[in-house]
C-alpha cells in the first residue's frame, strides 16, 4: 500500500440519507448500520464526486495509506449497471482529466466486447457531465476558469459594463469545494464572508482578482467543518497567502481564530491577512 487521496466519512455527521451513493457509480459506498461506509479502497478513485451531494458535509478527502485504486475491478461493477452508468463513469474520469484511468476503462470495455459510448454528444465538459446524468450536480462540479479569462459579451456583443468577472474557479462555497482541487496549488487564497461581495462595490477588482476564493457564513455554517476543510486544503497544497475579508459585525470575527488554527495544524507558514468591511461598504482595515 502507498499514500494516496481517498474519501473519508465523518461518522458523527453522516445521517445515512444515501444521497451520495447514486453519485458514486464506482460502487465504493454502501449504507451499513444506518451510516454510509467506504466498502473498499480499491473502488474509491479519490476524486470526490460524492462530496457535493452530502448535505451534512460528512464526506471529505484525506491522504492516507490505502490500496491502489483498481480501474478494472471498478469496471466489472460498472458494466453490470448498464450503459448509462458506464457513460457516467467515463464522463466522470474525462471531467477530472484522468486520462490514464479513462484509457484503462475503454480497454476493459473493448476486451469484454461492450460498446463504448460516445462522450462528445453534448457532454464534452464537466458541466455537460453533470447536466446529462445526475451523477454530479452542476452546482458543485469542479471547474477551473484560469485558462479562459476573456470578458464575457453582453447582448450587444460588447464588453460587459464594469469589467469582466475575476472568478477563477467553481464551486466557491466552502461546504462544496473539494479540498484536492488543483486550483489551490500555489494559490493566493481569499476567504470571504458571504455578505462582503454585496457590501463592497469593487470586490472583484480589489479582492478577488488573481485569487482562488472560498465563500461562507461563520454564523450560519459549521465552524468545525470549516476548520477541517481549511486544514485539508493547507496540507494538500502550498498556498502563497491567505486573506480573510469579512464584515465588521462580531459574528464574522469568529472565523479569524479558525483560520489561524487551521494554518497552525497544517504545519505550514502561510502569510495571513485580514480585511474588514463596514456594513455601509467601506474598507476599514
Residues 165 and 186 in one domain: yes
Do 125 and 177 fall into the same domain?
Answer: no
Q: Are residues 77 and 45 in the same domain?
A: no
197 and 267 inside one domain:
yes
Is residue 31 in some structural domain?
yes
Tell me the CATH number at 268: 3.40.50
Predicted local distance difference test score (pLDDT) of residue 67: 86
Which of 109, 133, 157 finishes a domain? 133
pLDDT of residue 164: 83
- What is the model's pLDDT at position 255? 92
Domains contained in the chain, number: 3
> What is this structure's pTM?
0.54
pLDDT of residue 51: 81
What is residue 162's predicted lDDT score, i.e. its pLDDT? 61
Residues 126 and 168 in one domain: no
Q: Are residues 258 and 272 in the same domain?
A: yes
Residue 139 falls within a domain, yes or no? no
Q: Residue 198: which domain range?
A: 145-277
Per-residue pLDDT of the chain (285 residues; tens, 9 = 90+): 788 889 899 999 999 888 888 778 777 888 888 888 888 888 888 888 788 778 888 999 888 898 888 999 889 888 887 887 788 788 878 877 788 888 999 999 999 999 888 876 543 333 333 333 334 444 556 677 775 555 444 444 444 456 789 999 988 998 888 787 889 999 999 999 999 999 999 999 999 999 999 999 988 888 888 898 899 899 989 999 999 999 999 889 889 999 999 999 999 999 999 999 999 999 997
In a shared domain, residues 228 and 162: yes
What pLDDT score was predicted for residue 120?
66
Q: Tell me, yes or no, whether 138 lies in a domain.
A: no
Looking at the fold, whether 151 and 273 belong to one and the same domain comes out as yes
CA angle at 282 for the pair 191 and 226, rounded to the nearest 5°: 20
So what's the pLDDT on residue 123? 36
Amino acid at each position: 500500500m502507498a499514500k494516496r487521496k481517498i474519501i473519508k466519512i465523518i461518522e458523527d455527521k453522516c445521517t445515512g440519507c444515501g444521497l451520495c451513493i447514486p453519485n458514486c457509480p464506482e460502487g465504493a459506498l454502501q449504507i451499513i448500520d444506518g451510516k454510509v461506509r467506504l466498502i473498499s479502497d480499491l473502488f474509491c478513485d479519490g476524486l470526490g464526486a460524492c462530496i457535493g451531494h452530502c448535505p451534512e458535509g460528512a464526506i471529505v478527502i484525506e491522504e492516507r495509506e490505502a490500496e491502489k485504486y483498481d480501474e478494472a475491478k471498478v469496471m466489472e461493477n460498472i458494466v453490470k449497471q448498464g450503459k448509462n452508468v458506464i457513460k457516467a463513469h467515463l464522463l466522470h474520469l474525462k471531467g477530472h482529466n484522468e486520462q490514464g484511468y479513462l484509457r484503462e476503462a475503454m480497454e476493459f470495455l473493448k476486451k469484454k466486447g461492450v460498446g463504448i459510448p460516445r462522450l462528445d454528444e453534448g457532454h464534452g465538459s464537466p458541466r455537460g457531465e453533470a447536466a446529462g446524468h445526475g451523477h454530479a450536480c452542476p452546482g458543485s462540479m469542479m471547474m477551473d476558469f484560469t485558462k479562459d479569462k476573456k470578458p464575457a459579451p453582453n447582448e450587444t456583443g460588447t464588453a460587459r459594463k464594469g469589467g469582466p468577472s475575476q472568478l477563477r474557479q467553481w464551486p466557491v462555497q466552502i461546504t462544496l469545494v473539494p479540498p484536492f482541487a488543483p486550483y489551490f496549488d500555489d494559490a493566493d487564497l481569499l476567504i470571504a464572508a458571504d455578505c462582503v461581495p454585496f457590501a463592497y462595490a469593487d470586490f472583484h477588482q480589489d479582492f478577488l482578482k488573481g485569487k482562488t476564493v472560498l465563500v461562507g457564513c461563520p454564523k450560519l455554517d459549521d465552524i468545525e467543518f470549516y476548520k477541517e476543510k481549511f486544514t485539508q486544503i493547507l496540507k494538500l497544497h502550498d498556498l502563497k497567502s491567505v486573506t480573510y475579508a469579512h464584515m465588521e459585525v462580531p459574528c464574522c470575527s469568529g472565523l479569524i481564530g479558525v483560520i489561524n488554527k487551521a494554518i497552525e495544524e497544517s504545519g505550514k507558514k502561510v502569510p495571513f491577512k485580514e480585511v474588514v468591511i463596514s456594513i455601509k461598504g467601506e474598507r476599514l482595515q
